[in-house]
């Protein structure tokens, strides 16, 4: 059975941390996330070789409507914006995929909206052979070998992280209501709770966690970033990004103008 390949990204899905922050702090954070998404994740996915059937981007539009900005960044990609309506993440994904032709084999893969995937990321996941029995019980796929990209240094460091936040979950289900999805547990727990696990290999890092000023969690990864890759420019091309000096300056300028208009509504 040919699987449906579904990327899932939480853009500004509700989080308790914002319960104690001001509205302006939230708007500033969203603006920063749009820039990171435009500079890193969007181009990275666009650069991939494999076919994505759908890219679910989970958004909360109650405080700010960012649909136009996200659609501009992902133009031409099979994106479906999933709006928060009070349901938990898994239930929201089930509803978004209810139009698939079930029974179906579904591959749901995590991708944070400030990170990078390699050009062969989707193609390599799709190439994994999984029998029907494994798919019925559920299989976690992991590329342990990845990278940490220090944005301020423009340098990639090797990372070995089996429980990384780029996992893929493969399942064969009779209906959307039966889907567990890659978000059925925290990524650090997925390998432990899954019936089957496959550790995969690539000759280049399959993914890269981006360390930037706003990502406190990823900054901790620099503590184990000991081995830098030598060919930075080749990896930048592989991940779909360019050195800042080579990037067109107009892309974020357009986003900034759009954002100002949004705040003036």
Per-residue pLDDT of the chain (265 residues; tens, 9 = 90+): 889 999 999 999 998 888 888 999 999 999 999 999 999 999 999 999 999 999 999 999 999 999 999 999 999 999 999 999 999 999 999 999 999 999 999 999 999 999 999 999 999 999 999 999 999 999 999 999 999 999 988 999 999 999 999 999 999 999 999 999 999 999 999 999 999 999 999 999 999 999 987 655 565 666 667 799 998 999 999 999 975 554 444 555 666 666 666 666 5
Three-state DSSP class for residue 178: helix
The pLDDT, as a whole number, for residue 255 is 67
CA–CA dist 120, 48 (Å, integer) = 6
Report yes or no on whether pTM surpasses 0.85: yes
Q: Which pLDDT value is given to residue 21?
A: 87
Angle at 253 between CA 251 and CA 255, to 5 degrees: 75
Q: State residue 171 phi and psi, 5-degree precision.
A: -150, 145
Please state the separation of Cα 138 from the chain's center in Å. Answer: 21
Cα atoms found within 13 Å of the Cα of residue 188, Cβ hemisphere only: 0
Sheet containing strand 207-211, strands side by side: 116-117, 207-211, 145-150, 155-160
What does R_g of the chain's alpha carbons equal in angstroms?
18
Are 60 and 84 a contacting pair, CB within 8 Å? yes
Alpha helices, DSSP H only, in the chain?
23-36, 42-46, 67-73, 89-96, 121-126, 132-137, 187-193, 216-219, 232-238, 250-263
Contact at 8 Å (CB) between 89 and 11? Answer: no
Residue partners of 102: CB distance under 8 A and separation at least 6? 173, 174, 175, 176
Q: Cα-flanking dihedrals φ and ψ of residue 178, to 5°? A: -90, -10
Encode burial over 143-156: b for 16+ CB neighbours within 10 A, e otherwise.
bebbbbbbbeeebb
């Amino acid at each position: 059975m040919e699987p449906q390949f579904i990327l899932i990204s939480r853009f500004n899905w509700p989080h308790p941390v914002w319960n104690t922050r001001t509205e302006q702090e939230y708007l500033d954070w969203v603006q920063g996330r749009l820039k990171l998404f435009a500079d890193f994740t969007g181009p990275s996915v666009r650069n991939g070789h494999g076919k994505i059937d759908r890219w679910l981007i989970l958004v909360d539009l109650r405080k700010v409507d960012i649909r136009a900005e996200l659609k501009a960044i992902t133009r031409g990609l099979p994106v479906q914006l999933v709006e928060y309506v009070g349901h938990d993440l898994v239930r929201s994904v089930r509803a978004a995929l209810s139009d698939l032709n079930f029974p179906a084999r579904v591959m749901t893969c995590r991708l944070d909206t400030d990170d990078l995937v390699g050009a062969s990321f989707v193609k390599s996941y799709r190439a994994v052979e999984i029998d029907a029995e494994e798919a019925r019980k559920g299989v976690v796929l992991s590329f342990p070998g990845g990278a940490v990209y220090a944005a301020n240094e423009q340098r990639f460091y090797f990372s070995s992280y089996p429980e990384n936040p780029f996992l893929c979950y493969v399942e064969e289900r009779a209906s959307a209501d039966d889907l567990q999805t890659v978000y059925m547990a925290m990524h650090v727990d997925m390998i432990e709770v899954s019936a089957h696990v496959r550790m995969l290999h690539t000759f280049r890092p399959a993914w890269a966690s981006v360390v930037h000023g706003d990502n406190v969690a990823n900054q901790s990864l620099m503590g184990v970033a000991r081995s830098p890759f030598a060919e930075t420019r080749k990896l930048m091309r592989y991940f779909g990004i360019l050195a800042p000096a080579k990037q067109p300056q107009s892309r974020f300028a357009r986003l900034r103008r759009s954002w100002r208009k949004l705040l003036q509504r």
